[in-house]
Amino acid sequence: MNLDTYRPLGRSGLLVSPLALGTMTFGTPRWGLDESGSRAVFDRYTDLGGNFIDTADVYAGGRSEEMVGSFVAAQSSRDRLVIATKSGFATGRGYRAGGNGARHILASVEGSLRRLQTDFIDLYWVHIWDGVTPAEELLRTMTALIAGGKIRYWGISNTPAWYVAELRTLARVQGNPVPIGLQYFYSLVERGVEAEHLPFARSAGMGLVPWSPPRLWPSHRQIRPRDRRDGSEARGRRPQPGRAGRHGASRRRQASRWRQSVRRHAVHRAQLADSRRTEARRSGD
C-alpha cells in the first residue's frame, strides 16, 4: 500500500492517504514519544508520501498539536498536508471546558489554530458525543466554522449512529455542510461498528477512519515467560519480528475466525436473498 495513492474521504473532494498518521503519542509522558522521536516518525511518514495527519486538542495537553505545527513549519509542507484535529473531551476544569457546545468548540478551534500554526484546519472531528448538545446547535456551529474559513470539512467520532444520522439529515434538509467522515474504534477483535455505523456510512457516503486498528491484538500485549518457545524469560518485552510463539498462532487463529465469520455472513445473506426471491415468485403466482 502506497501512502501517496490518495483517495477521497467519503463523498467529498478531500484527498487523503490510505493510512493516517495518528499523533496521540507525540509528547505524551511515560508511554509516548519525545520531540526527537516524534519528529522522526513524522518525517518518515511524509517522506513516504503520507499527507493525512491526525491529532487532537487533548493529546498530551495540546503538546501534540504544537509538535505537528512545528514539524509542518520546518518542512514548509502545509500546502500538501491534510491536518485533522478534534475537540470534545475536557481540556480543563469547569463545565465549559469540554463538550460540544458552541462556546467550547469555537474556543477549541482558535486554540488548535494557534498551536498548529495554521490559518485553517482541513478536517475537524467532533471527538466524542457529550449527550447534551442538540444536533441543531452542533450543526450551526460547524456550519459557521466552515463559512468563516476556520475549517474545511468536519466529521464525527465516538458517537451513536442515530445522532450522526440526525445531524446529516438536518444538514441535507437545510443545505448545510454535511459531515464527511466517521472515526471509531475498529479492529479484528472489536467490530461493533459493523452493526449500524458501517452500513450507515456506506449508505450516506461517509468515510470511516478507524482508530487504534491494531489494538488488543496479541502482538501488542506483554508476553509472559511461558509464552516463549525458546524458554527464555520475556520480562515484559514485546514479541520480536520473525519469532513464532503463541502470539503468532493466536493471531492466525483470530484472522481465520474472522474470515470464517465473513464467509458465513455472506452465505446467510445469499440464502436470505434466495428465500425472498422465492417468496416473491410464489406471491406473484
Catalytic residue positions, numbered: 59
Which helix H or strand E contains 16, and what residues bound it?
Answer: strand 15-16
- Give the CA count within 13 Å in the CB-facing half-sphere of 196: 8
Q: What angle do CA 101, 105, 107 make, to 5 degrees?
A: 120
Identity (one letter) of the amino acid at 141? T
List the one residue out of 31, 110, 120, 11 whose CA is nearest residue 72.
120
Which helix H or strand E contains 156, and what residues bound it?
Answer: strand 151-157
Specify the 3-state DSSP secondary structure of 15: strand
Which stretches of 42-147 are assigned E, i.e. beta strand? Answer: 52-54, 82-87, 121-126
What DSSP character marks residue 187? B
CA–chain centroid gap for 175, Å, is 26
With b for 16 or more beta-carbon neighbours within 10 A and e for fewer, the 136-174 pattern comes to eebbebbbebbeeebbbbbbbbbbebebbebbbebbeee
State how beta strands 15-16 and 7-8 pair: antiparallel
Q: Which three cell numbers stand for residue 19?
A: 493510512
